[in-house]
Structure 1
Amino acid sequence: MNTSEKTPVSFEPTPNPATMKFLLHKKVTDQGFDCPTVQEAERSPLAAKIFGFPWTSSVYVGPDFITVTKQDWVDWELLAHPLSGLIQEHLDRDEPVVVTFVEAEEDNENDSPMVRNIKSVLNREIRPVVALDGGDIVFHKYENNVLYIHMKGACSGCPSSTVTLKEGIEVRMKELFPEIVEVVSV
């Protein structure tokens, strides 16, 4: 493909001021994953490369985007354009974004009908909306009528994540499943 035919990497702010979402304009993985440390970035050569900068706090690799969370001592005004260029260069060289993606899938055969229904709603309704802001919501467990989830990417540490959790996710899950008494982030 000619470089002029490729859509350049773009970026946009997220509700978390420390996190920027970089749009890759191509699918790189089926399911996103968190890289909160450089050690956990081994599945993504691009995330590992981004961790080479001392201001990187965490990286989240989404299906067609990457969110990068920076440390407080540096501003996005200085970082966003050069980082976008670095990501674009990585893609232009056809270097892999994800080398392997092996995350243990929970055994659905052992899930109760309630857990299967909760996972289905999370995957169909909640996760796509949260991904628009560069984050992800992943099922952890359902126990004693409490749904436990992981908030990843831009959602992790975001000032508005509590509002998203309580006024968005919890309200919707309680509408669909009245037996749920609370949704908690772990």
Structure 2
Amino acid sequence: MMSISKEELQKKEEELKTLQEKYIKAKKELENYKGHNPLPDKYPYSIYSESTPNPLVMKFVSNKLLADHTKECKSIKDTGANTLLRKLFSFPFIQEIFISKNYISIKKHSSIEWHDVTNQLRMFIQDELNNNIKIYTPPIEKVKFTKNDSKIIQEINTIIEKEIRPNIQMDGGDIEIVSLDKGVLKVILKGACSGCPSSQITLKDGIMRLLKEKCPRQISEVIALND
């Protein structure tokens, strides 16, 4: 049996104590971390990819907050001051980009397969973010409604925010109210939901059914203007 000297044993105990202290510190930081707040700057960005119901769209999810507001870019002209989004459009296969709080949805051209480019894009986004490339998303200008509609719209927005938007965002998309006229609610589907083969099912069997159930007197139909 191999014997261990007193000095070696003391050294091992000190190393173990150091590791325990680091573990306790990291554990406390995780316990104090609130999901809606960004991680401290000392933590690097980590990006993972996630498929969506839209075969042309891949969702790239971050462990840290990316933006305060959503932004949809149909072309490089829509990127504004966003260096990362402009650089992403330099990839010839990228058709559209949608960014939300902690993810970027990218729509590709049908001429290329995701398995050929997903890892390349994931690493590119992660490296750019860790090189202090910031994403700026200006607040979205809210649609103005009449006084009669404002209370109803507020109720609808509350339902969307609590029961509809979280599910849509899980699939890499979003929804925006455009107008409400004589019971017809017009919306715009964004990100992965735009042009998705299953968007009509989501709209009719999910969004419209729930809104008609919650607001039967105010809503008779829901129409997506971009679908």
1:1-186 correspondence runs (5 A):
5-6=43-44, 8-98=46-136, 100-107=137-144, 110=147, 111-179=149-217, 180-186=219-225
The CA distance in 1 between the partners of 2:175 and 2:134, in whole Å, is: 25
Partner SS state of residue 180, structure 2: strand
Instruction: State the Cα deviation string for residues 27-58 of structure 1 (Å, max 9, x = none).
Output: 12222121112111215322211111111110
Tell me if structure 2 keeps the 8 A contact 1:135–1:153.
yes
Partner SS state of residue 69, structure 1: strand
Q: Which has the higher helix share?
A: 2
The structure 1 segments of at least 4 consecutive aligned residues displaced by more than 4 Å after TM superposition are: 107-111
Gaps of 5+ in 2: 1-40
Tell me if structure 1 keeps the 8 A contact 2:45–2:126.
no
Tell me if structure 2 keeps the 8 A contact 1:108–1:116.
no
The CA distance in 1 between the partners of 2:104 and 2:51, in whole Å, is: 12
Say how many residue pairs are matched: 183
Tell me if structure 1 keeps the 8 A contact 2:175–2:190.
yes
The CA distance in 2 between the partners of 1:109 and 1:141, in whole Å, is: 10
The CA distance in 2 between the partners of 1:109 and 1:162, in whole Å, is: 29
When structure 1 is superposed on structure 2, of 108-117 and 157-166 the one drifting more is 108-117
TM-score, normalization: structure 1? 0.92
State the identity as a percent: 32
Tell me if structure 1 keeps the 8 A contact 2:69–2:139.
no
Partner SS state of residue 112, structure 1: helix
Q: With CA pairs under 8 Å and 6+ residues apart, which has the higher RCO, 1 or 2?
A: 1
Instruction: State the Cα deviation string for residues 60-87 of structure 1 (Å, max 9, x = none).
Output: 0011000000000011011100000100
Root-mean-square deviation (Å): 1.7
